[in-house]
Chain A
C-alpha cells in the first residue's frame, strides 16, 4: 500500500498477508427466526467491497454481527486472522473496525466536536487528553468545521451522515463498515459522501465494507456480494455487474 500524500496520516498498515476480514459459515438468529444462513465473505486489504440486496434480507444484521452487537449461533469472523468471537463491540472497535451504522446514530445531546472526539475512543489512548480535531477530517467534510459547537441531534440528515463517517475515521480504523450511508439523503450530498469515501480509500489504503442501494456508489467498489434471504447468492467484480444482477438485487 502506498500513501499518495500525507493528508490522512497514522492509519495502520496492512502487511501481514491475512485477509482484512474473513467471515465463514455464519449463522445468526433473532430469537428463533433464522436471519443469516451460512454466510461466507472475505475482504482483501485495501479493497472496497459492497454488499447489495433488497430490503430486509439481513444486510444490517450482518454488519451488527461483525461489530459484536449480535451474537452468531455458529460460524467465525476473523479480522486479519484474529478470531473476534466473544469480543464485545468496544474491543472490536479498538482492533480497528470503524462502524457507521444505518440511521447514523449520532449522539444527539453531544456537540459535533464531542461526537468527533468520541471517535478517538477506538485508539489505545482513548479520547483522554485530545482537545483538537485533526485537520484532515475537515478536508474530507468542510461543513463540520463551521458547526463544531452545535448539538449532534440538530444537524440535517446529510450532515449527520458526514459526522458519522468523520467520527469513524477519527479512530484510524483498518476496516470501515458503512451501512447505507446514502439512505434518505439528497443527491448532491450523496456525491460529496461518495467522493469522501473514495478519497479515504485512496489516501489511507484501508478496507471498506459498504452496504448500498445506489448503483453509482456500488460501482465505486472493487467487489460485490449479493444477499438474498440471508444467504450470499452471487459475488464478483463490480466491473462485471450485469443488468440482471442489478435488477434482481438493487431496489432501483
Chain B
C-alpha cells in the first residue's frame, strides 16, 4: 500500500505543477494554434514578481499572506506582457506556426536577458524611449498625411528616441553611480521563502510527508482549472472564446470581434503562466532560465492532451506526472522484486533525467498511435 500511496501523491504534486504551467499554453494553442515559446519565461517573470512582492511586504503585517498578493500581481504582470506580445508580434504571424515559434522563442531569450540585466538605468531608458517614440507617433497620427509619412517617421524616430534615452541614462549613471546601474536580480538565482503557514508537511504514510507547499500547489491548480471552466462556460467572453475555438470564420460572420477574443485569450493564458511561476517559486531557487525547465514538459502535456479540450491536458498532465514520479523514485520496486531482471531495469532508470527519457520515449510512441492526442476534436483544424 505504502509505495502506491506515495507514488500517487508524489505524482499528483508533479502533475499539478505541470498542469498549472500547461493550462495557459493549452488554452492559447486551442484557440489560435499557436505555441508561445515565451510561456516558460512568463512563468519566470511570475516567479520574480513573487520575489518582488515578498520583499515589498516583508516588514508589514501583510507579510504572512504575501503569497495572495503575489498571485494577483504575477497574473496581472504576465497578462499585460502577453497582451503586448500578442498585439505586437503574434497577431502578424497567424497561420504561420513556424514563424510564431521562432518569434516567441526570440522573445523568450530577450526576457531571460532582460531579467538578468534589468536595473533602474535600463527601466528608465526603456521608459524614455517608449515615451518619445510612441509620443511622436501619436502626435504625427493627428496629421492628415500620416499614412504617407509613416515609414520615414518611424525610421527617424527610432534612432533619435534611442539616442536621447541612452544619453539621459548615461548622465544619470555618472551622477548616481551604483544604486542606479546595479541590476535588480543579477545572474544569481533569487530565493522565495514560503510563508510560515506553508512550511512543514502533511504526513501521508510512514516516512513520507507531503510538503504543504505541494498541497498548496495542488489546491491552486484545482482552483485555476475550476475558474477557467467557470469563465469559459458562464460568461459572454467565455462563450465567444469557445465559439472562435471551434469555428473562427463563422464566429466572425456572426459579429464576434475575433481580434479581441485572441488578445483576451492570450492575456489570460499568459496570466496563468504568471500564476504557475508564482507556484514554482515556492519549490526552489528562481533564476532567469527557470522557464526553460518547464517549456518542454508543458509542450508535451499540450501535445499529448490534444487540441481544444482542457480535459485532455488534465489527463495528460496527471499521466505524465505519475509516470515521471513512479519511474524516478522507483516506487514500484517492492512490487517487482520477484524478478531480478525487472528490478535491474527499474534501478537503471530510477533518476530524474532517466525518468524523463522514459517519459519522452513513451510520448513519442503514444503519438505514433494517436497523432492527434488523447482527445482529438473532430472537424476542427488548427490552422483554420
Residues of A within 8 A of B (CB): 67-69, 88-90, 92-94, 99, 101, 105, 107-110, 114, 117-119, 121-123, 126-129, 153, 167, 171
Answer yes or no: B5 CB below 8 A from chain A CBs: no
Dominant secondary structure at the B interface: helix
Q: Are A109 and B254 interface neighbours, CB within 8 A?
A: no
Query: What is the CB-to-nearest-CB distance from B100 to chain A, in angstroms, rounded to a whole number?
Result: 21
Bound complex: CA of A88 vs CA of B256, how far in Å?
10
Q: What are 16 pairs between A and B in contact, CB < 8 Å?
A: A88-B252, A88-B259, A90-B254, A90-B257, A93-B255, A105-B247, A107-B250, A107-B251, A108-B246, A110-B242, A110-B243, A114-B242, A121-B240, A121-B256, A126-B236, A127-B236
Query: What is the CB-to-nearest-CB distance from B48 to chain A, in angstroms, rounded to a whole number?
Result: 37
Query: What is the CB-to-nearest-CB distance from A202 to chain B, in angstroms, rounded to a whole number?
Result: 25
Most buried by A among B243, B250, B255, B256: B255
Q: Are A109 and B246 interface neighbours, CB within 8 A?
A: yes
Query: What is the CB-to-nearest-CB distance from B256 to chain A, in angstroms, rounded to a whole number?
Result: 5
Bound complex: CA of A27 vs CA of B350, how far in Å?
66
Residues of A within 8 A of B240 (CB): 118, 121, 127
Q: Are A114 and B236 interface neighbours, CB within 8 A?
A: no
Q: Give the residue of A88, A129, A167 whose beta carbon is less than 8 angstroms from that of B254.
A: A167
Residues of B within 8 A of A127 (CB): 236, 239-240
Answer yes or no: B1 CB below 8 A from chain A CBs: no
Answer yes or no: B334 CB below 8 A from chain A CBs: no
Given contacts A107-B247, A108-B379, A110-B246, contact A69 B239 (CB under 8 A): no
Answer yes or no: B249 CB below 8 A from chain A CBs: yes
Range for the number of chain B residues in contact with chain A: 20 to 34
Residues of A within 8 A of B252 (CB): 68-69, 88-90, 93
Other than the given A88-B258, A94-B255, 12 more pairs (CB < 8 A) read: A67-B253, A88-B252, A89-B252, A89-B253, A90-B256, A108-B247, A109-B377, A110-B246, A118-B239, A118-B254, A121-B240, A122-B255
Residues of B within 8 A of A122 (CB): 254-255
Residues of B within 8 A of A90 (CB): 252-258
Query: What is the CB-to-nearest-CB distance from A165 to chain B, in angstroms, rounded to a whole number?
Result: 13
Residues of B within 8 A of A121 (CB): 240, 254-256
- Chain A: CB-nearest residue to B261: A90
Query: What is the CB-to-nearest-CB distance from B58 to chain A, in angstroms, rounded to a whole number?
Result: 43
- Chain B: CB-nearest residue to A97: B253
Given contacts A126-B236, A128-B236, contact A69 B253 (CB under 8 A): yes
Most buried by A among B239, B259, B377: B239
- Chain A: CB-nearest residue to B249: A69
Query: What is the CB-to-nearest-CB distance from B69 to chain A, in angstroms, rounded to a whole number?
Result: 31
Residues of B within 8 A of A (CB): 236, 239-240, 242-243, 246-247, 249-259, 377, 379
Residues of B within 8 A of A92 (CB): 253
Interchain residue pairs A-B with the least CB separation, the first 4: A93-B255, A122-B255, A121-B255, A89-B252
Bound complex: CA of A22 vs CA of B222, how far in Å?
55
- Chain A: CB-nearest residue to B258: A90
Q: Are B250 and A109 interface neighbours, CB within 8 A?
A: no
Query: What is the CB-to-nearest-CB distance from B34 to chain A, in angstroms, rounded to a whole number?
Result: 19
- Chain A: CB-nearest residue to B244: A107
Q: Are A101 and B253 interface neighbours, CB within 8 A?
A: yes
Residues of B within 8 A of A105 (CB): 247, 249-250
Bound complex: CA of A214 vs CA of B384, how far in Å?
31
Q: Are A126 and B255 interface neighbours, CB within 8 A?
A: yes
Residues of A within 8 A of B236 (CB): 126-129
- Chain B: CB-nearest residue to A94: B255
Bound complex: CA of A122 vs CA of B252, how far in Å?
10
Residues of A within 8 A of B253 (CB): 67, 69, 89-90, 92-93, 99, 101
Q: Are A101 and B246 interface neighbours, CB within 8 A?
A: no
Residues of A within 8 A of B246 (CB): 107-110
Q: Are B242 and A171 interface neighbours, CB within 8 A?
A: no
Bound complex: CA of A198 vs CA of B259, how far in Å?
35
Q: Are B254 and A119 interface neighbours, CB within 8 A?
A: yes
Bound complex: CA of A243 vs CA of B48, how far in Å?
77
Given contacts A108-B246, A110-B242, A110-B243, contact A171 B379 (CB under 8 A): no
Given contacts A107-B247, A108-B379, A127-B236, contact A93 B242 (CB under 8 A): no
Query: What is the CB-to-nearest-CB distance from A82 to chain B, in angstroms, rounded to a whole number?
Result: 16
Bound complex: CA of A171 vs CA of B256, how far in Å?
12
Residues of A within 8 A of B259 (CB): 88
Bound complex: CA of A175 vs CA of B30, how far in Å?
33
Bound complex: CA of A155 vs CA of B209, how far in Å?
52
Bound complex: CA of A85 vs CA of B258, how far in Å?
18
Residues of A within 8 A of B256 (CB): 90, 118, 121
Given contacts A89-B249, A107-B250, contact A117 B239 (CB under 8 A): yes
Bound complex: CA of A101 vs CA of B253, how far in Å?
9
